[in-house]
A and B are shown apart, each in its own frame.
Chain A
Amino acid sequence: MKRALLTLVCLLGFQTIFFAGNVSDTIYINSGQGLFVNGKQMPCKGFNSTPTYENRNAQLSVGIMDTLVLTIVNNDTILHGFDIRGISGYKDTLQQGDTLEVTFHSSTPRVCIYYDHINYPNNAYMGLAGILAVGANANTYYWNIKDHQSDWNDSIASGGVVDWLDYYPDYFTINGLSNPDINSDTTARVEGNIGDTILIFMANTGQAEHSIHFHGYHCEILYSTSSSMHAGRIKDTFPLKRMEGYLLRLVPHQTGEYPVHDHNLLSITGGGLYPFGMFLTILIQ
């Protein structure tokens, strides 16, 4: 019996070593013209997975056993920074054309926000903030929540100064998309079956506050960036301050198509028009 136990322990130990590994990823700091709902365009920046600008920031993922080796390339013409919010030791800068390599490891499932800390909040606001997921499963979704006041993107891009006390955003996106386009983003639009364990890594990387409400289901908070008191709470509405996020677990108990939207209903608009904002649906078969 003792021997069997020893073998088991050895096997477990071996498995840990065997499965723990390095994952490599490269992200590019790009500048470009962002395309928004109803054809709206505005200058933006992003951490993208290719050297071409797109609204969506790279969705980084690492297993709880693994180490992420991340290469960041500054493809823009100005100085940028890289940091992971709430974790010390990552803050660094990149000149035009520079490359930076960082390694990241977390032994617990969580959602992290990586972002550009230079000229904060302007660079992050222009789009340079994304989600790093720890502990994703096969049913994982990413909701990177942002807001933009379109004329501010123009003025910040041309070196202008904005007063954040006057902020009044008019575009609201998840992964860079608004209703109805957001429902065709398979990394955002939850599709599943009754009883599935669905993980949602959600972060507010905009400069407004949001309050994300689920129809049809309650979700359990597995991790919250803002307070350890939140873990284990089962809720239908999730308050999101700036640069905060949640890892949520949804186990659907019923079939149907149900909306998820910001309950700051001003955010269900795009260019002042309802309902072209932060609104998508969940489909459970």
Chain B
Amino acid sequence: MMRKLIGTCLLLMIFLFAEAQTNVFLIGRTLGEKVIANGDTLRVYGFAPSLSTHPPIPAPLIEANQGDSVHIDFWNVSQLHHHTIHLHGLDVDQANDGVPMLSFSVDHMEHGWYHFEAPHAGTYLYHCHVGSTLHLQAGMYGPIIIRPSDGSNTTWDGGYAFDTETLLFMSELDTFWHTDSILDHEHIDGAVHDTLLVPKYNPDYFLINGLSDQQLEDSVELNSKTNYVNYFRLVNIGYCTNKVIFPSSLGARIVDSDGRPLPIEEFSDTIEVYPGERYGVLVESSVPILDSIEVHYFDMMTSELKNIQHVKVDIRVPNQVEEFENVIDFSIAPNPVDQDVRISFDLLKETNLSLRIVSIDGKLMLSEFPRVYEQGKHTLVLSTNEYASGQYILSLSDGNNVTSKSFIKK
């Protein structure tokens, strides 16, 4: 009887003190490939979610709720190079800060573990801090989004509710920096500083979410409805300054920066974003709009305008977009699932879809960047081998509509 009582108490304590935990697994690579807008393939460094995929640029989104305990298992598979993960803006302690000479760096075929308690809701980023001028340009950067404690579509705890969310993660590519002679830089093991020769920077591709020009126009856009609140997360991780210019009819207002609400909101169609900065911007319109957001890239030495990229804005009155509302109907099989789960859907038109899986107790299992799927039938196969038994919610979103279905892992 007594033993049973102690057991119950222990269980209760575990329940009371258990905080949501987010586990992230990333692999550091230096032999990645990326197709750029002219169709060429460039060699890149990056963070890959698995050994069988090239590291995406930007790296996989890390997502957690405020207060969550986030654990990153970082495995370095990079031949001679060592890397780190710096959690930019999260104010983590020195041990987890990812600066090689002040924290630790992760050698080839080694693991490094990073841990932090997700602080204020907001937009952050992560990147390698080894030979950072070269390793960032090579591709080792990705976004981090900390959501409010309840995981809701709100800017922060008690902040603004929004209907759509768009990440614009700006950077550049200098294709010369992606040649073997630059990427295979000398590396002295154990040196306090890695001394690197940095070539002259002359970027020739100007990226948003890793894409430029036609690639960008094909896959990043704001598709929304009149009177929806649309939240933009602007991030600059390049070496140029950005001016993000919203159509004035959207009434853009800046509400947060660097993971903190602004004390006074600023109404401005033009938002300057300098390297390392983040801004949260709310836009909405009561009338339909077909226009574009301009992103300007300026040289920081001369202030010369180097490039302009466009992000399409398509805001319609609800009945005009309803025809698309059911395009993301999907099926899950088998259900219950033992190992692999198949997600099947049939698209009436080319659609930008993102996928999320959350356990019934709110733990984020998977969060994929939006990807373009062609019109027609698709089947995605996902392994659930690492999932604990229980119920999970799988959501597909096209940016406007989210369809969620549950499945049981045996």
Interface residues of A (CB under 8 A from B): 147, 164-169, 180, 207-211, 213, 215-218, 229, 232-237, 239, 253-259, 263-266, 268-269, 272-275, 281
Given the interface pairs A211-B275, A236-B258, A259-B99, the reply to whether A273 lies near B195 with Cβ below 8 Å is: yes
Shortest CB-to-CB span from B305 to chain A, Å, is: 12
> When chains A and B are docked, how far (Å) is the Cα of A208 from the Cα of B195?
23
Shortest CB-to-CB span from A40 to chain B, Å, is: 15
**14 additional A-B residue pairs with CB within 8 Å, beyond A216-B91, A264-B274, A273-B196:** A209-B241, A215-B97, A216-B97, A233-B262, A255-B94, A258-B102, A259-B102, A265-B137, A265-B239, A266-B201, A266-B239, A266-B300, A268-B132, A272-B199
Which chain B residue has the least Cβ–Cβ distance from A261? B132
Shortest CB-to-CB span from B143 to chain A, Å, is: 15
Contact with A along B108-124 (1 / 0, CB 8 A): 00000000000000000
> When chains A and B are docked, how far (Å) is the Cα of A278 from the Cα of B234?
25
Chain B hits for A233, CB < 8 A: 257, 260, 262-263
**By the criterion CB–CB under 8 Å, are A229 and B266 in contact?**
yes
Chain A hits for B276, CB < 8 A: 211, 213, 236-237, 263
Chain B hits for A268, CB < 8 A: 132-133
**By the criterion CB–CB under 8 Å, are A274 and B97 in contact?**
no
Other-chain contact of B94, A168, A169, A257 (Cβ < 8 Å) = A257
The size class of the interface chain B forms with chain A is: 35 or more
> When chains A and B are docked, how far (Å) is the Cα of A218 from the Cα of B136?
22
The secondary-structure label for the interface of chain B is: loop
Chain B hits for A169, CB < 8 A: 301
CB of B49 closer than 8 Å to a CB of A: no
Shortest CB-to-CB span from A235 to chain B, Å, is: 4
- Complex A-B, nearest 5 residue pairs according to Cβ-Cβ distance, in ascending order: A263-B276, A256-B94, A239-B274, A232-B263, A211-B274
CB of B380 closer than 8 Å to a CB of A: no
Other-chain contact of A239, B94, B133, B136, B277 (Cβ < 8 Å) = B277
Interface residues of B (CB under 8 A from A): 86, 88-89, 91-94, 97, 99, 102, 131-134, 136-137, 193-201, 239, 241, 257-260, 262-264, 266, 272, 274-278, 300-304
> When chains A and B are docked, how far (Å) is the Cα of A235 from the Cα of B88?
12
> When chains A and B are docked, how far (Å) is the Cα of A224 from the Cα of B339?
57
Chain A hits for B194, CB < 8 A: 274-275
Other-chain contact of B274, A180, A208, A215, A237 (Cβ < 8 Å) = A237
> When chains A and B are docked, how far (Å) is the Cα of A234 from the Cα of B89?
11
> When chains A and B are docked, how far (Å) is the Cα of A272 from the Cα of B182?
13
**By the criterion CB–CB under 8 Å, are A239 and B198 in contact?**
no
Shortest CB-to-CB span from A253 to chain B, Å, is: 8
> When chains A and B are docked, how far (Å) is the Cα of A235 from the Cα of B122?
12
User: Which of B86, B193, B258, B278 has the most chain A CB within a 10 Å cutoff?
Assistant: B258
Shortest CB-to-CB span from B268 to chain A, Å, is: 9
> When chains A and B are docked, how far (Å) is the Cα of A169 from the Cα of B301?
7
Shortest CB-to-CB span from A210 to chain B, Å, is: 7
**By the criterion CB–CB under 8 Å, are A272 and B197 in contact?**
yes
**By the criterion CB–CB under 8 Å, are B102 and A236 in contact?**
no
Given the interface pairs A218-B91, A236-B259, A265-B132, the reply to whether A167 lies near B301 with Cβ below 8 Å is: yes
Given the interface pairs A209-B303, A265-B136, the reply to whether A215 lies near B86 with Cβ below 8 Å is: yes
> When chains A and B are docked, how far (Å) is the Cα of A207 from the Cα of B195?
26
Other-chain contact of A235, B97, B102, B260, B302 (Cβ < 8 Å) = B260
**By the criterion CB–CB under 8 Å, are A232 and B91 in contact?**
no
> When chains A and B are docked, how far (Å) is the Cα of A165 from the Cα of B304?
7
**By the criterion CB–CB under 8 Å, are A168 and B260 in contact?**
no
Other-chain contact of B264, A216, A229, A253, A265 (Cβ < 8 Å) = A229
Given the interface pairs A258-B97, A268-B133, the reply to whether A263 lies near B275 with Cβ below 8 Å is: yes
> When chains A and B are docked, how far (Å) is the Cα of A265 from the Cα of B134?
9
Which chain B residue has the least Cβ–Cβ distance from A237? B276
